[in-house]
A and B are shown apart, each in its own frame.
Chain A
Amino acid sequence: MSTATSTPDATPRLRRSAPGLQTREIRSLIFVAILLIVALAVLPQILSVYWVTICTAVAYYSVVAGGLGLLMGRVGLVSLGQIAVLAVGAWIACKLSFSTSLPFPIVLLVTGLITMVLGTIIGLPALRLSGLYLALITLMLAGAITVALRTMQFPNGGPGFLGNDPNQSDPVRRPAIALTDVAYFRYTVVICLILFAIALWHVRGRAGHAWAAIRQSEPAAIAAGVNITLYKLWAFALASFMTGVAGGLLAGDVQRLYAITFTTQQSIILLAVVLMGGIYSLWGGIIAGIFYSLVPALLNNWGVAADWLTILFGVGVLQVLLTAPGGLSQQFPRDMKNLYGLITGKKRKERQAMQAPPGGEAGAPRAAVSDGPDQSGVVE
């Protein structure tokens, strides 16, 4: 297409300037900044150490959820083995922590890379399978990994390659700058922010475009020259890297790890919270992290039986699947916008002008916004 000048008569000239930051992106950036300040400066001041530790878990489980959301929402690959991948990451981090004297950030990086290789191997069936079958295969692999971990246990400073000594348990090292729980929380938040930035960079770039094409139509992707095998594995690699680093953060957080905490059921719970948070946006990962770690702790604190959690998540997933496929990360801003509209009365006047029957407070706003632009930028 070297001859742009030879366009015929009625051809429109397109806007040439590269798009700057959109208002929505600026708003997101401001929101991230506020969230960071709150997390790093405010939370440690107002919360007890116990709740700060819970927030640490929220941070790294957000990354795990973000990875799964990326697989499902971007590429359409369902994995039910992410908690097993997390356990593998945690195991590798324990091993490196006791067997080497690598500094903690390097431990995290190496853990992420090794988990990435293993996770990509787990992703190999994804090249042939999809949907239910892929979910089943990953679930079975997760089960196998869980069984193996039960026998091996986590390294705790013991002898041999497996490094497990049932009669002792040394804690996993933490970075020198983050020895206390509060400092470790801040450290975790920063690492998680970096991981989310890496994910965002992929989603916005060449890989993200290829994933969008694969998800909508594999023939169209191939016709555009997308190597779908490569990009599917790429998605597994990225999600596994994120999950592996999160596993390293988990190891440094709890310091003494037991295989019993990583059950196959957790992978299914993770899927539920990721669906509730929303798979089309990285914000969904953060919401999912809150559901996964904070909500159980809250229920526990209020003396509600843990079984209610499964019921709560079941209802939540139903609600999402029926009314908001984009999850809470899409629904919440939309509802907030409606609420704002209600408060300012703008929408109410419009409704009166249209002589619509006065609706209930809950039902009315959704209808009022259907003409507004979609917040998410993702079209279902």
Chain B
Amino acid sequence: MSVVIDGLTVRFGGVTPLDGVTVTFEPGTNGIIGPNGAGKTTFFNVLSGFVNPASGSVHAFGDDLLGMAHYRRARWGLRRTFQTEQAIEELSAAQNVAMVLENTPGSGSAGSRREAALDALEFVGVDVNPDEPVGTMGARERRLIEVARAVVGTPRVVMLDEPAAGLPDEETEHLGRVIQRIPDETGALVILVEHDMTLVSACCAVTSVLDFGKLIATGPTDEVLRNEHVIKAYLGAEDAELEGVIGNE
């Protein structure tokens, strides 16, 4: 029940955003950190099927993920959120979340899909009228609705791409509590890409570090955050936030 990535390489012309990444994600919440441009989002995009890798393989729970058509991966249970939130403005909150189920064959009647969508909205703790168009809602609500869309039904791998970006601190705390509950309550394996080290420390038992497309460290989060290569990679990128976290430890 793990996600095994072997020798994943992506090339855009002369640039190599991912260079032979080999890593295994175990059930629970796995963090990925790294300076800007390290290849974190490209990594998610390969798993989502938006980018085709030059070489390498991804096996999720024993299934060959790269052999699946991209839209079938969501049906398989691979879910994600985006760095810039992508809730569909024209649709209501309930429709946004139920959409995943609508496109999954054998996911029950319209009524049961709606129930599942409302369950997911309650799970992420968003207090909205589920039948209002998302376009009228604030950034916090949209972000949580997107997370609800990622956990509705039976997710197997949930990828969160900087879910705390642009959120105020108290909202980040709430989001952290939601993320911590995803593995236990849905059984999904969570991969969290985040710059907010407090959130990563709070949610992830294991963290991997990408720098210039290469995996430079992986292991228990507190150890990884003390790793000198990691500190160097971050200080090189002058990420004051991490410096602060490391300084506290």
Contact = CB atoms under 8 A, between A and B. Distances in A.
A12 interface: yes
B125 A222 contact: no
Nearest to B130: A14
Interface string B62-83: 0000000111101100011010
Nearest to B107: A225
A210 B114 contact: no
A7 B71 contact: no
Contacts of A212: 88, 90-91
A225 B152 CA distance: 12
Chain B CB within 10 Å — which of A11, A215, A222, A377 has the most?
A222
Given A8-B177, A379-B89, A1 B133 contact: no
A219 B100 CA distance: 13
B185 A6 contact: yes
Nearest to B101: A225
Nearest to B44: A223
Contact of A14 (B80, B102, B122, B136): B122
Interface stretch (A15-23, A101-109, A170-178): A15-23
B203 to A, nearest CB: 15
Nearest to A212: B90
Interface residues of A, number: 35
B116 A209 contact: no
Interface residues of B, number: 52
Contacts of A6: 185
B189 interface: no
B99 A219 contact: no
Nearest to A74: B90
B129 interface: yes
Interface string A1-34: 1011011101111111011000000000000000
Interface in A208-261: 209-210, 212-213, 215-217, 219-220, 222-228
A1 B149 CA distance: 11
Contact of A216 (B89, B115, B120, B123): B89
Nearest to B135: A379
Contacts of B149: 224
A49 B104 CA distance: 53
A169 B73 CA distance: 58
A4 B119 contact: yes
Nearest to A3: B185
B168 interface: no
Main secondary structure of the interface of A (DSSP, over half): loop
A171 to B, nearest CB: 45
A206 B91 CA distance: 11
B249 interface: no
Contacts of A210: 99, 102-103
A378 interface: yes
A377 B48 CA distance: 31
B186 A220 contact: no
Interface in B199-217: none
B95 interface: yes
B153 interface: yes
Given A14-B121, A219-B50, A220-B82, A226 B99 contact: yes
Contacts of B103: 206, 210, 224-227
B231 to A, nearest CB: 33
Contact of A224 (B99, B128, B154, B186): B99
B5 interface: no
Contacts of B131: 15, 19
Given A1-B123, A210-B103, A219-B82, A225 B118 contact: no
Contacts of A226: 71, 99, 103
Contacts of B80: 223
A287 to B, nearest CB: 21
B118 to A, nearest CB: 5
A222 B74 contact: yes
Interface of A: 1, 3-4, 6-8, 10-16, 18-19, 206, 209-210, 212-213, 215-217, 219-220, 222-228, 377-379
Given A4-B122, A213-B99, A223-B82, 6 more contacts: A1-B151, A13-B122, A209-B88, A209-B95, A210-B102, A213-B91
